[in-house]
Amino acid sequence: MYTCVAFLLITHPKKLFLLSEELILKCVQVLHDSLILFENDLVLSNEISKLCEEWWKENLGGRETLISQSLPFLLSKSLTLRKKVDVHRVYALREAFTLLDFDDESIDDLKLLLLRCVVDPFYLKMDEGRRFIAFLFRLSGQLVKEALALIRSQIPFGRKSMLEAYADILFRAWKVGEGLSREEIENGFLQGMVEGAVYARSETLAASIRRILGGFVNQRTTDGVEKLLFRLSEPVIFRSLQVANSNVRKNALHLLLDMFPLEDPDATKEVKDALLDKQFFLLEKLLLDECPNVRVVAVEGSCRILYLFWEVISSSAITKTISKIVDDMSQDACTEIRLSTLNGIIYLLGNPQTHEILKVLLPRLGHLILDSVLSVRAAFVDLLLTLSDMPTFQFHKVVGLDGLLSTLSDDQPAVAQKITRLLIPSYLPSNVSMEESCRRFVTLVKRSPMAGARFCEFALTEGSSPKSLMELVRVCICLALSPKGLNPNQIEGFLVASANICNSLVSDTSYKLSLKKLFSGKKLKQLFSAEATKHAHTTIFKIASLVSPDDVIDVIKECMVRIKNCGGLPLNEEMQAEVRSVHKLMISCLRFDELFGALTEILQKAACECRIKYSTGSSEQSMPNMRQKKAKQSVKYFVKSKNVKGSKENSGDVTSNFNQHYVVAAGAAWQIKELLTAEDSRAAVLKSPKLEVAFSALKVVSEVSIEHCVHLEYMDTSPLLAYTALALHAKLHHANLAGKNDLRGKKNEKSDSSRYLMKGDVLQSSLNHLFGCTKRLFTESESGDLPPTCACSSPDSGSCSCDKKFMLNMLKMATEVLKFVVDANMVSPIFDNQGTCLQFASAYLQVIIPTLRKHCHDISLLHEDMKGTLLCLKSSFTYAAKLLNLVLSNNNDSSLLLPDAFNLANNLLNLLVSIESYFGSRNAISLVPAVKPWVSDLILALGSSHIMTESPDNRAPPAAMNNSTSSFLPWLKVLGKLELCVISKLDQDEEVSDFTVFKDIMDMVVLILRRNQKVLDSVGSIFLSGLVVLLERQEYGLVLGIVHFVCVRLVQHEHGEWEDLQVMLVSLQELYPQIENSIKDSTSEDGRQMLDRAMTLLGPVWAKYVFKDGGGSVMEE
């Protein structure tokens, strides 16, 4: 009530009660002094503060006594409630803060509130808030220092808006500041900001600091600002532009560009010109800086300076700078610099004064249309688009039309679309008649068929009318059907252009109907009859699938021809594109059953030929009943011919017939694999009633492909890929490979194998089948027999081409089988055959390593053979390592698989060593990206038997270590030789000089092992167990090498690292006496010396952790 009455008294419009001002003041003072007591009553507190605020605004007597409590209340309220009105009230009372004594300790709480305003986002966002913070710099020198310190601390983390707010605040504070306040801002803050902008470690921090300085740079026309910037930055910038640190040079260049032209306003004209010349000299020097990042900034900055200050820069400096940018920077090896050059030129074109000189220089940039980097080519076309909008330029003088059309036909969509936008006014303009537009477009296609076709791909997107494009299609088709004076490539161009236009227009129902009428079945048949390329035929199929004509009988016939005549398809990309378009059309026309039936029939014929030639699958009756009569007739004919004409001639006929069917079957298998990649076609395949027949045929053809790959003149992995893909998708999508009709429509006549498939797991049965095939292949490889068809075998000729072909074929086949093994384990993590899978992978590696040794010289002579071999080996390593990972990760009873996992890990390391030994480190280095991700899995597999065993005493060495000496691990011997070379400090001998890749991998192994004591203990025992074999073979140099590796690189005794390695200490307890006995029994002085050195390394460990005074053992206790 008192507050309300007092407020009414002082705000009365006629001021009737001001005669009693002293009495009212006493009442208001009582309320003001009690303000802190009412802090829980926000309404009352707010009313009292308003009363004090009004007293101040009315400039009534004693107003200075009403601010000590009201000001903190208003500040606190504005910071808490964050309302604009409260900030406005605080700003309105800003002069009241000048009456406070900021040197008094009692004002500390208010100072904290004021400093909170400095970092409060709400204050920084509002103009009155920023003005209030700038006002604070007039209150106290100490407050200025603390506020500047707060601002400085916010710069590394501040957003753009916050930094710009601080820049505004600092400039306002400096502008109105006087004496110590202004000096503190200039010398205490801004000088530090200039140095920080130059010496900042990160680009982000430097940019943030420059944003703060921008508050002054943008106000340089204000009196005193130019002088201030020159005084603070001139010594720092010019010195820093020439230092050795490229990051400092770049930061200093950024600052110079922001402040350009840097000059003393009080200097004479001669001094200013000299300083300007100095800046241009440094810019020119930095254009050639050794650091690409500096050159990028120099290019962009130079173009910006020329754009802004063209009129005040001398013509010689302009010509020299632009010429250097156009001639040198556009040729720079750094992509970012070439891109900056183009962006800078585009920016320069915004100044009309630059056009005259750029007309002369821009043609020198024409080579960038062929730049190897997409972003540079796209930026160059942006430059051409900019020129096309300027009447004073002609873009075709910068780059020739032929270069543009070549890029349009071959480049990425991002570039091709921009070129289309550039060419539309010339070749499909909207301001001429339809006839003229079509005539121009025809000219384009005749000049560059594929460029014209690509032009149509983006024409609708770039603004051409659908009506004009529809007319263009009609013209193209008429020309394709009346090809007088046109070559096949031009016909192809018109057809591809029509397909691209159709693809753009079919989404509109009305235009799709028009296209359907235009492309009738008869019209499509006529197009097939035209003299066109295979790509043109692909395009016709694409058009048919897009417009879906009603009469497609003739088109379907053409499709079936392509589907059936598929010999050589897996290696012919042009045929593949055509077949894909055929598949799409057949599916869109609901003719999938015809498509899949044709493929199944091809595969069945090939499977029958396989059975005739190789008796494949005869014991298990793997083929369904379809066409059994035909198959029997073939067999009967074969037997009859054999009796009449003689076996030799008849065998040639059968081989020729088989080869023909096999080549076509590979194409059919490729098509099935392709159908499984798309979701709609995959669903159709898995639902097909002919699926089981196709699967069974693929099984037979795959078996022949694997087992007889050396006998085949043409070998392809497509049947195997299709076979495994079908098995995987059948498992994933629960397809029934045996519950369907055969091709004759009989439901109950199934072979025994069909019943087996129906009852069993198709994935497991497929794996077992492939394991059997590869086992027979590996057996033939190990026997060393040449194929019967080899005509070059000779006991003295060494390796022949058939041998090499056998190895490459075996590599391809086994790699694909290994991939399927991994995929199968990923589909079914709980898999019964994981042990068999590991054994298969090991068997494959054990076969391929000696085969590589036999043929490495012949393979190294041909680049293609080397490339293919290394690719297969790289893939094989990846798949085998992935298999290890899956088995160790997903199998609950891993102890049963530990020996197999251990053997596979060793074989993988042996493979790595063999590749580097036979092909050299230069070729082996390509395997490093495939090996590195799996090093941890190799380590876990090596130490798995020990890791899975609880008691160290029960941890026996792996079975591989207990085998005969002939099976000793080659990779361990190489490691020993490498370490021995390190010990002897001699140049590596020829035998180990090429193992740099293996050495790098072992360095990774050491780093990983030293991170985990348990794994180190388990794997380290492998090395110690291997020493026993080396001692038996009396290879004492290798013993010393492995001991050095363990004691120096793996475990360091001086750091007490042996204490927790219980398994290794158990192994050492058995090993150490054997070394002592070998020293006694050795007849070689060199051998004894090496063993003595090994004992020297092991002795401290033996004495501290194993041996006990009195003959006992610490380990036994």
Are 393 and 359 in contact, with CB atoms under 8 Å apart? yes
Confidence of residue 1068 (pLDDT cuts 50, 70, 90): confident
pLDDT mean over 260-281: 90
One-letter amino acid for residue 392 of the chain: T
d(CA 603, CA 613): 15
Q: Which residues pair with 1113 in a beta bridge?
A: 1107
pLDDT mean over 545-551: 85
pLDDT at 173 over 70: yes
Give CA angle at 122 (120, 123), nearest 5°.
70
pLDDT score for 801? 54
pLDDT at 551 over 90: no
Confidence of residue 486 (pLDDT cuts 50, 70, 90): confident
How confident is the model over 745-777, as pLDDT tens digits? 344 443 343 334 434 578 888 999 999 999 988
For the chain, percent of residues with pLDDT exceeding 70: 82
pLDDT at 167 over 90: yes
pLDDT score for 982? 82
pLDDT score for 41? 62
pLDDT score for 204? 93
**Which range has the worst mean pLDDT, 374-388, 491-505, 550-564, 891-905?**
891-905
How confident is the model over 620-636, as pLDDT tens digits? 444 444 334 343 333 33
pLDDT score for 632? 39
How confident is the model over 122-153, as pLDDT tens digits? 999 999 999 999 999 988 889 999 999 999 99
pLDDT score for 348? 95
Number of helical (H) and strand (E) elements in the chain, helices listed first:
54, 0
**Which range has the worst mean pLDDT, 15-24, 389-398, 809-818?**
15-24
d(CA 456, CA 441): 10
708 in helix, strand or coil? Answer: coil
pLDDT score for 98? 86
Confidence of residue 899 (pLDDT cuts 50, 70, 90): confident
Confidence of residue 651 (pLDDT cuts 50, 70, 90): low
pLDDT score for 735? 67
- 813 token code pair: 């086949």
Between 1113 and 77, residue with greater pLDDT: 77
d(CA 336, CA 376): 8
Are 842 and 900 in contact, with CB atoms under 8 Å apart? yes
Are 109 and 150 in contact, with CB atoms under 8 Å apart? no
pLDDT score for 800? 54
How confident is the model over 814-853, as pLDDT tens digits? 999 999 999 998 887 655 678 889 999 999 999 888 888 8
61: left (phi over 0), alpha (psi -120 to 50) or beta: beta
How confident is the model over 983-1004, as pLDDT tens digits? 876 544 445 556 889 999 999 9
Residue 1037's Cα: distance from chain center in Å? 46
- 139 token code pair: 């209150």
What dotted CATH number matches 267-397?
1.25.10
- 64 token code pair: 């200075």
d(CA 125, CA 346): 35
pLDDT mean over 330-334: 93
Among 147, 151, 153, 149, which residue's Cα sits nearest to residue 135? 147
pLDDT score for 654? 59
Alpha helices in 589-646 (DSSP H): 592-614, 628-645
**With DSSP H G I counted as helix, E B as strand and the rest as coil, what are the percentages for the chain, rounded to 5?**
75, 0, 25
How many other CB atoms are found less than 10 A from the CB of residue 664?
20
798: left (phi over 0), alpha (psi -120 to 50) or beta: left
pLDDT score for 894? 54
- 239 token code pair: 């010195």
One-letter amino acid for residue 73 of the chain: F
pLDDT score for 23? 59
pLDDT at 1009 over 70: yes
pLDDT mean over 223-233: 93
pLDDT at 963 over 60: no
Task: Match domain 400-573 to its CATH number in 1.10.150, 3.30.1490, 1.25.40, 1.10.12.
Answer: 1.25.40
Confidence of residue 427 (pLDDT cuts 50, 70, 90): very high
d(CA 1068, CA 1053): 14
Confidence of residue 1 (pLDDT cuts 50, 70, 90): low
How confident is the model over 567-618, as pLDDT tens digits? 999 999 989 999 999 999 999 889 999 999 999 999 999 999 888 888 765 4
One-letter amino acid for residue 1094 of the chain: A
Residue-range domain boundaries for the chain: 267-397, 400-573, 591-760, 778-788+799-1021
pLDDT score for 212? 94
- 1084 token code pair: 């070689």
One-letter amino acid for residue 813 of the chain: M
